[in-house]
Chain A
Amino acid sequence: MSRAEAKRILVPNETLANALGADNLARESRARGHEVVRTGGFGLAWLEPMLVIDGEAYGPVHDLDALDAVALGPLDELPALARQQRIVFDRCGRIDPLEYDPSWLLAQLEREPREIIEEIKVSGLRGRGGAGFPAHIKWQTVYDTPAPQKYIVVNADEGDSGTFADRLIMEGDPFRLIEGMLLSGHATGANKGLVYLRSEYPLAAEIFTSAIARASTLGLLETFDIELFIGAGAYICGEETSLLESLEGKRGEVRAKPPVPAIAGLFGQPTLVHNVITLCSAPGILQMGGKAYAGIGSNASTGSSAFQLAGNVKRGGLYELPFGISLRELVEDLGGGTRTGRPLGAVQVGGPLGAYLFERDLDTPLGYEEMAQLGAGIGHGGVVVFDDTVDLVEQAHFAFAFCAHESCGKCTPCRIGAVRGKEAVAALASGEYTEAKLEVIDELCDLMEQTSLCQMGGMTPIPVRSALGEAFSPARRNGNGERP
């Protein structure tokens, strides 16, 4: 491209795209006289850095002089985007994250709080952080609990391996989150919002900080205050009560529930704690109406979910899709199978506390209840693909090791159980007394599930059991009952 044909180029300012050279492409494009708009990323990892010029997409771009070689055609016809139903991410990638017209939001903030909560109730929105709890019950509880101070707390401590939706939206459309915070604050009577962001996301922190300043300039923060808090590297702080302790400046040790945070949360006050994507779903619901939103998805899993396809997969990235799509459509059709080209070995759904699933499970629809029937969960929507070289005993060992590393230490089953579990799985490698050892691990898993204070210890057995169950399944064993 020469100076003669100056164009308007969308260049993502997103962590992955920047790691792959987007910053340099932006600089170079500007030097050539083009108008550069730094947008968020679309989340199509294998195409980054992806540029958009006059509605045409190009990617992965490594050389501005060789764009034709990586021409992808019209942006909206990209199969990976066309098949999505972007509600949360509809603007992400297309806009300058700090450009915002507040008129729609201001109109919504004139609505009666009860009316807004009713829309959320009708929509069937459930928590996107992991637990899948109906959102409106939390909103209603905070609304109903009288208190001098109420809080909106956003859980952006996105620690699950295989997830990056919170990062993408905070980098690419921070006003989506600000909308969700202001709307939920208005609906519940909270006038202070805190965002707990993990320290591994510095660009998200930078962009969100600018967005708070911009919101203030736009007059959006006259009756609602937003503060950004950066974590300090603790997976457990994604657990809501641990997160609240951390926000109070303490060790992130989990609290016993009840009371639930909606009644006594931050500094003992009613607190609406939601994952980023849950809150970011609220604006779309109010835009289309709760009933229309409830018509998307399947059964009791309404609306769209930001599925994040990761690990050993050809076309990994963010896919916002209606609930009910099958794992096979996600992993094989959209994802293109393993990156190595080898047969699929396992998929772990829902982060480090999620189940390992296998080829026979792939036709299961991705919905809260459907996954529960497999003993699995959707978690924060992360799907990590492994090829057939996966060592499932090693993965079970890692599940315990991760729990031991990240346990807050408050309750014994998690603190000690994880260490003992790690030792027991390591001992399996000797190949002796396998049945007895598996039995010990099974009992330990029962104990952790039944007596841990939170889901860290309570759910670590899920990846352990699913991985070991497959590794030692009759089909995989030889005649001696030992591992093949």
Chain B
Amino acid sequence: MPNSDAIRELVSACVGQVGAPVTALRKITETHGHIEDEHVRIVADVFNLSLADVRGIVSFYSDFRTSPRGRKHIRICQAEACQSVGSRALTKEISAALGLALGETSDDLGVSLEAVYCLGLCASGPCAMVNERILVHATREELLP
């Protein structure tokens, strides 16, 4: 897990790029999984922004989370094209099996369930992602083997 110095280095490397604060937060999310208070302070410091500015950015974008996701991170598309081929029923089934609502993570951090709005595979729904793996024509069996 990267320490503060590593995070600062990551953030500093974004200086000068277009949209740098957003990019910096994305890189933190990619390497660390979620954004902690300490990271917010670093981003604010590096870009000379207020803590409120940075928290505002974090809360605005759905890719940025402030709590860890599960080791198995399930995302199921909730948008219309997937709705038309049963994503609501699939979500209900997975949600019931895991005992998690969309947006929740299990206490042991084993699994998290999240909504995603469109993966751009809309002729092959329902679509889902398990960590980085993309599933089309997704079924309960594939999501919860």
Contact = CB atoms under 8 A, between A and B. Distances in A.
Interface of A: 15-16, 18-20, 45-46, 48, 158-164, 167, 194, 199-202, 227, 229-235, 246-253, 308-313, 316-317, 339, 348, 352, 382, 384-387, 390, 394-395, 398, 402, 405-406, 408
B74 interface: no
Given A159-B118, A247-B18, A385-B84, 7 more contacts: A15-B134, A19-B121, A229-B23, A231-B22, A249-B21, A250-B57, A311-B85
A199 B121 CA distance: 14
Nearest to B21: A249
A199 B63 contact: yes
A387 B120 CA distance: 21
B57 A251 contact: yes
A229 B19 contact: yes
B80 A232 contact: no
Interface of B: 17-23, 25-26, 47, 53, 56-57, 60-64, 77, 79-85, 88, 116-125, 132, 134-136
Given A235-B117, A249-B21, A395-B80, A308 B122 contact: yes
Contacts of B135: 19
B121 A16 contact: yes
A400 to B, nearest CB: 13
Contact of A233 (B18, B63, B121, B122): B63
Nearest to A236: B60
Nearest to B138: A19
B26 A311 contact: no
B56 A232 contact: no
B84 A232 contact: no
A46 to B, nearest CB: 7
A247 B21 CA distance: 10
Contacts of B121: 15-16, 19, 45, 164
A441 B26 CA distance: 38
Contacts of B61: 231-234, 252
The residue among B62, B88, B118, B134 with the most chain A CB atoms within 10 A of its own CB is B118
B80 A398 contact: yes
Contacts of B124: 16, 19-20, 45, 48, 316
A233 B79 CA distance: 14
A237 to B, nearest CB: 9
A407 to B, nearest CB: 11
Leading 8 A-B pairs by shortest Cβ distance: A316-B123, A161-B79, A310-B122, A232-B61, A45-B123, A311-B84, A233-B63, A233-B62
Contact of B20 (A45, A249, A382): A249
Contacts of A227: 17-18
Nearest to A44: B123
Given A16-B124, A161-B79, A247-B19, A387 B118 contact: no
Contacts of B18: 194, 227, 229, 247-249
Contact of B84 (A20, A248, A384): A384
Nearest to B136: A19
A228 to B, nearest CB: 10
B116 to A, nearest CB: 7
B70 to A, nearest CB: 18
Contact of A384 (B19, B56, B88, B122): B122
Contacts of A386: 83-84
